[in-house]
């Protein structure tokens, strides 16, 4: 067997409307109409040939007590075309973020359920 590609990442979210605000209004992702309905609530986002799947279920992970810097926690990384615009969107939404400690043009923030997201410019 040989792994040939990365297809999607699933994230648990306990409050789907709050998560959708973060992913749609702040990160500007658009829900995908291509994915089938599931037996549970959620939403899919197409990003190139990969997807993010938000699954609306009680989140078993703690929201508090996680590392302040998302780079020291499990996370997904998304490429952005303008990191300054990403910072402005996060600032306007009141979402805390930290800059990459490696010196790369990247930042880390968290969605309402504490899932860490890296934005790389």
pLDDT in tens, 18-39: 999 999 999 999 999 887 778 8
Nearest-5° Cα angle at 49, 2 to 75? 80
What is the percent of the chain with per-residue pLDDT over 90, rounded to a whole number?
83
DSSP H/E element including 85: helix 83-93
Place of tokens 């973020």: 97
**Euclidean distance between CA atoms 60 and 6, whole angstroms:** 25
CATH H-level, domain 8-120: superfamily: 2,3-Dihydroxybiphenyl 1,2-Dioxygenase, domain 1 (3.10.180.10)
Average pLDDT over residues 66-93: 95
pLDDT band, residue 106 (cuts 50/70/90): very high
Residue 44 confidence (pLDDT) above 80? yes
Say which residue, 39 or 75, is predicted with more confidence. Answer: 75
Residue ranges per structural domain of the chain: 8-120
Instruction: Tell me the average pLDDT of the chain.
Output: 93
For residue 110, the 8-state DSSP code is E
């Amino acid at each position: 067997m040989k792994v040939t590609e990365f297809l999607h990442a699933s994230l648990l979210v306990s409050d789907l409307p709050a998560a959708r605000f973060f992913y749609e209004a702040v990160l500007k992702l658009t829900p995908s109409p291509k994915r089938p309905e599931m037996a549970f609530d959620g939403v899919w986002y197409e990003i190139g040939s990969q997807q993010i799947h938000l699954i609306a279920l009680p989140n078993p992970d703690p929201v508090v007590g996680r590392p302040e810097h998302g780079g020291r926690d499990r996370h997904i990384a998304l490429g952005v075309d303008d990191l300054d615009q990403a910072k402005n969107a996060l600032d306007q939404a009141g979402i805390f973020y930290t800059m990459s400690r490696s010196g790369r043009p990247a930042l880390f923030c968290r969605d309402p359920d504490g899932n860490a997201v890296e934005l790389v410019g």
